[in-house]
Amino acid sequence: MEKGSCVGRRRGLGYFHRRPCPPIRLDLTLMEALAAELRPHLGKYGFLLRPEHTLPYECDGSTAYRSAPQAVALPRSTAEVARVVRACAAAGVPFTARGAGTGLSGGATPIEGGVVISLAGMNRVLEVNPAERTARCQTGVVNLEISRATAPFGLFFAPDPSSQSACTLGGNIAENSGGPHCFKLGATTSHILEVTVVLDDGEVVVLSEDDAGYDLVGLFVGSEGTLGIATEATVRLLPVPETVETLLAPFAGLVPACEAVSRIVAAGTVPVAMEMLDAATIEVVEAGIGAGYPKDAGAVLLLELDGAKPAVARQRADVDRILDECGALEIRVAHDAAERELLWRGRKFAFGAMGRISTDLYVQDGVVPRSALPEAIAEVERIGKRHDLRVANVFHAGDGNLHPCISYDGRDPDEKARVMAASHELLSLCVRLGGVLSGEHGVGIEKRDSLDLLFGEDDLEAMRRVRDAWNRQGLLNPGKILPVRSGCGEPRATLPDSGMPGRVAAIPGAWI
């Protein structure tokens, strides 16, 4: 294929019989054959088979969905990824790419077993071009390391998920990740200029935003590993702003805080970030991190302004006025970088802090219009009470991206079932209020079977045809994003503990 080209043979969709298929189970002989083929190229420890070695790859950050792979490949270059893919494709073995495993929708969970291709070892910033404000990176590089590598040039990488210190560039590309600062700066898709992709048969292509024709980079970003595996990417960098002001405004409750957010945006002010935490989240964050949030507040609004000093001063005057008119109990300003970092630490580590109160956490990312935030938050609380669940709220208030956090015990089947029922109601709520199913976590397994809340069958069929043009054997991260039809055209297994598709236990392997 030419550079930027990806459209090749398209597998016929055929007719799908409405009868169940058995789960895919790959025998030990096949896995050992792959190991014998690949270890000479990946190294002695580059292809793992033993269950105790594959078990850590059975889920991502969403522990509600678990399915162990039968092998894990650890390539360190695009050529090695392509070699693994060619071997899997020739053997008919499904394969799933994985970065740091911080995703929250089950996107990196290998629900059909097979091989997980971990890109964690491909973690280098290959080149920084300050003049062009770009960096070329392997996709296993940790998000925050890009900004650290480019800081000496006065530049940074804008997407900043809460897992920024752990998540990888490849995961950001797969899920089109956002973060608090995407309200002004945009999600990952706004910052990817070029991406090297290993296709489903091992062919390597380069997709670029400079290519004529369809925007294949835009199509690929957010495809959750179902169209190919990104191994390198050239990212857009932004200059570090001249001035940054971080404010914390506590309120008596969420409703006046949400009103302040709407009025700030309506006034024409565009903060780089506007984050909201409710009382339940404040309690957990202060107990675990001590970020300095007032414990008696019903909600806090964390707001950040950036830009040229005169512009920030004008924005600050408008923001202070609106916050005061909406009933802010005080307006606290970070006086230095250490105070700013502490305030953001409370927000960034809120999910982790909730580990103090439960064994498991379920986090959603549905989106509603800003004007619907008060109604949405009130209904989230009612859904939690109806299912007898503890729900805390922390969300990107600027763009209406909700993050209801349900703390639960995953060892309790009844409680887990109630969490799953509540999650579907939460997604339905977002759609009913004029929103969408996902703002940044992706569809993965979590929202896959709720996609028909938003799309009709014709829409879903069009998406399937696009996927099948790239994913011709159906081996690339099977069972993700699109609803799985219960027929032999798209085989499915069933997770016994969640009712979700695909647990296949790791098979006994050789000594590694």
Query: 3-state SS of 270-325?
Result: CCCEEEEEEHHHHHHHHHHCCCCCCCCCCEEEEEEEEECHHHHHHHHHHHHHHHHH
pLDDT above 70 (res 98): yes
C-alpha Rg value of the chain to the nearest Å: 23
Q: Which of 384, 483, 482 is CA-nearest to residue 429?
A: 384
| Sequence-separated contacts (24+) of 121-124 with Cβ below 8 Å | 121/74, 121/75, 121/76, 122/75, 122/76, 122/77, 122/81, 122/231, 123/168
Q: What distance lies between CA 455 and its chain's CA centroid?
A: 21
3-class secondary-structure state, position 116: strand
The pair of three-digit structure tokens given for residue 206, joined into one six-digit string:
């380069």
Identify whether the C-beta of residue 419 lies closer than 8 Å to the C-beta of residue 413: no
Q: Which residues make Cβ contacts (< 8 Å) with residue 461, sequence separation at least 6?
A: none
Distance CA 290, CA 311 (A): 32
Identify whether the C-beta of residue 244 lies closer than 8 Å to the C-beta of residue 340: yes
DSSP type of residue 477: S
Percentage of the chain exceeding pLDDT 90: 87
The tokens 């069009």 sit on which residue? 462
Identify whether the C-beta of residue 63 lies closer than 8 Å to the C-beta of residue 101: no
Identify whether the C-beta of residue 226 lies closer than 8 Å to the C-beta of residue 480: yes
Identify whether the C-beta of residue 473 lies closer than 8 Å to the C-beta of residue 92: yes
3-class secondary-structure state, position 454: coil
Q: Which of 177, 194, 197 is CA-nearest to residue 186?
A: 177
Q: pLDDT band at 500, cuts 50/70/90?
A: very low
Q: Which amino acid is at 429?
A: L
The pair of three-digit structure tokens given for residue 359, joined into one six-digit string:
């064994």
Element (DSSP H or E) covering residue 126: strand 125-129
Q: What does the pLDDT average to over 281-291?
A: 95
pLDDT above 60 (res 49): yes
The tokens 């990488």 sit on which residue? 157
Identify whether the C-beta of residue 353 lies closer than 8 Å to the C-beta of residue 288: yes
Distance CA 423, CA 51 (A): 31
Q: Which residues make Cβ contacts (< 8 Å) with residue 330, sequence separation at least 6?
A: 249, 250, 294
pLDDT at 502: 34
CA atoms within 13 A of residue 46's CA, in its CB half-sphere: 20
Q: pLDDT band at 487, cuts 50/70/90?
A: low
pLDDT at 20: 33
Q: What does the pLDDT average to over 179-186?
A: 96
pTM for this prediction:
0.90
pLDDT at 192: 98
- Range with lowest mean pLDDT among 102-106, 186-190, 486-490: 486-490
Q: Which amino acid is at 262?
A: S
Other C-beta atoms closer than 10 Å to the C-beta of 323 total 23
Q: What does the pLDDT average to over 497-510?
A: 35
Element (DSSP H or E) covering residue 71: strand 71-73
Residue 476 — φ and ψ, nearest 5°? -75, 110
pLDDT at 356: 87
Average pLDDT over the chain, rounded to an integer: 90
pLDDT at 416: 95
Distance CA 347, CA 276 (A): 9
Identify whether the C-beta of residue 237 lies closer than 8 Å to the C-beta of residue 301: no
403-436: per-residue pLDDT in tens?
999 999 999 999 999 999 999 999 999 999 999 9
pLDDT at 486: 60
Q: pLDDT band at 26, cuts 50/70/90?
A: low
pLDDT above 60 (res 459): yes
Q: Which residues make Cβ contacts (< 8 Å) with residue 126, sequence separation at least 6?
A: 136, 137, 138, 232
142-164: per-residue pLDDT in tens?
999 999 999 999 999 999 999 99
354-394: per-residue pLDDT in tens?
988 899 999 999 999 999 999 999 999 999 999 999 999 99
Q: pLDDT band at 503, cuts 50/70/90?
A: very low
Identify whether the C-beta of residue 192 lies closer than 8 Å to the C-beta of residue 173: yes
As separate numbers, helices (DSSP H) first and strands (DSSP E) second, the chain gives 15, 18
The pair of three-digit structure tokens given for residue 131, joined into one six-digit string:
């003049």
